Structure 1
Amino acid sequence: MSDSFPFSNFEQQHQWYQDIDNANRNNIFCHCRACGYEWMDSKKEATCVKCGNKDVESISAWQFPDD
């Protein structure tokens, strides 16, 4: 196994992606660059819920500590 590939089989890789999807559920911080509105969502490719703009910055909030 290569050092650059951390999974020993397809099932482990699939489970890792599933775990990331579960962590992202309702846990993506979104910020509209047009109107400044901020909200939590489940998808990174969000459209602003206030003004409809597609220029939205999104960050997986679970990546940051709570303190």
Structure 2
Amino acid sequence: MSDNFPFQNPEQLQQWHQGIKDANRNNIFCHCRACGYEWMDSAFDVTCIQCSSKDIKSILSWQFPDD
């Protein structure tokens, strides 16, 4: 492996991949295109709790910067 590779062994790489999967599963930002309501969820196939619309934009929230 390269000197720039941040993982010492394949298990560390697997742990990193699992962390990304966990973040994806538990941190989904949802925006209702119909009424504008926004919330966090753990699924992509959701219905707006304000207006019952299925027209939802879902974004993996870990992609947003913290600042």
| Alignment pair present for 1:48 and 2:48 | yes
Where does the alignment leave 5 or more consecutive residues of structure 2 unmatched? Answer: 1-12
Residue in 2 that maps onto 1:8? none
Secondary structure class of the residue paired with 1:31: strand
Q: Offset at 1:51? A: 1.0
Q: Offset at 1:19? A: 3.5
Secondary structure class of the residue paired with 2:22: helix
Number of matched pairs: 54
TM-score by length of 2: 0.65
Where does the alignment leave 5 or more consecutive residues of structure 1 unmatched? Answer: 1-11
The percent of aligned pairs where both chains have the same amino acid is 67
CA distance in 1, matches of 2:64, 2:35: 25
Greater Rg over alpha carbons, structure:
2
1:18-37 CA-to-partner distances (Å, cap 9, x unmatched) read 43431034411100011111
Q: Offset at 1:65? A: 1.4
RMSD: 2.1
Residue in 1 that maps onto 2:39? 39
TM-score by length of 1: 0.65
